[in-house]
Amino acid sequence: MRNYKKNATMNHSAELESIGSAYYERQFNSGVIGKMRGNAIIECLAVGKNGTGGYLVPDSMEKKIVHALTENNVIRRLATVIHTEGSDHRIPVLTSVTEAQWLTENEPMQMAEATFGSRALNAHRLGMMIQVSSELVKDAGVDMSTFLSEAFAEQFASAEENAFLNGNGMNMPKGLLASGSAETGVTAQTTDAITAEEVISLYYSLDEKYRQNAVFMMHEDTAKALRLFKDENGHYLWREALGGEPDRLLGRPVYISRFMPKMAAGVKPVLFGDLSKYWIGDRGNRSLTRYDELFADQGQTGYRMIEFVDGKLILPEAVKVIQMAE
């Protein structure tokens, strides 16, 4: 929802066509984050109503939220993130193509055939409410837009990262570790330990066309064990990086997530692959609703934020995992 019907009777009619306008931002900060409810504010905010009692946040606030989500969510930093407007977005996927052919002089060339499939990104609803001191809300020295953006984004980032890894696809994104998502490259011999040989086998289980952009991901407890691995010459497979870059294992970056499972029977504690093949779809801008009466006796104001998001690995063969023995 970015284009809206013009209201020729208003001085700011042109600005009301987009929730990205500076005018909408000012009225949003006054009427939703603050409590001013003049006619001009109400009329302006009407273009941002989302149908559930909330208002779409202005683009400036949306950018703050997305930035904070990316900073706090390792999957978002590595995946392909798109912004959609509809509730269902289909991604075309090239599933097969005929090979190129060697030709003799004057030999006719056969037309190549490509086969496409598709993956659907839906819109799963994620929301939460926080309570803020009413005195803090009234404090002119506090940038409430930034405060709320960071407060919500920090919690959304955790819920998203967990779902992007472990979600089952039912009313939430389908995670990388879910059944039918990343493929099993190696099955460990035991239930509680991984060997260096199994990590190397995982590396080579991934097609070489995906290895160039591939990364490892694991829980920090798993990382502690893998840091001790050595090759046949006694050299550590793990390399510590400098300057804020991720450490490397077998030459590829290693990322840590607290939502990756620890080593235990039947789980998938290590993944390796090209995570740009995991697509995240954000539908529209997030919405914000303010509640004054609900927490008035506590001297607090409630704010509820809702987002619609989905995630899916569109090429399962692009990510491989180690699965522990049962």
pLDDT at 2: 43
Residue 13: pLDDT above 60? no
Number of Cβ within a 10 Å radius of residue 56: 23
Number of Cβ within a 10 Å radius of residue 212: 8
pLDDT at 1: 39
Confidence band of 31 (pLDDT split at 50, 70, 90):
confident
Confidence band of 223 (pLDDT split at 50, 70, 90):
very high
More confident residue, 43 or 13: 43
pLDDT at 201: 96
Q: Does residue 266 come out as left (phi exceeding 0), alpha (psi in the -120 to 50 range) or beta?
A: left
Tell me the pTM. 0.85
When pLDDT is averaged across residues 228-257 and rounded to a whole number, the result is: 91
When pLDDT is averaged across residues 146-160 and rounded to a whole number, the result is: 95
Q: What is the mean pLDDT of the chain?
A: 87
When pLDDT is averaged across residues 223-242 and rounded to a whole number, the result is: 90
Judged by average pLDDT, the poorest of 24-33, 182-191, 260-269 is 24-33
Residue 279: pLDDT above 80? yes
pLDDT tens-digit map of 68-116: 999 999 999 999 999 887 667 776 666 666 677 787 777 787 776 665 5
Q: E strands within 77-223? A: 80-84, 89-97, 114-121, 124-133, 183-187, 215-218
DSSP string of 10-54? STTTTGGG-TTSHHHHHHHIIIIIS----HHHHHHHGGGB-SSS-
Q: Which residues pair with 83 in a beta bridge?
A: 282
Residue 14: pLDDT above 50? no
pLDDT tens-digit map of 168-210: 999 999 999 999 999 999 999 999 999 999 999 999 999 999 9
CA distance 255 to 215: 7
More confident residue, 231 or 57: 57
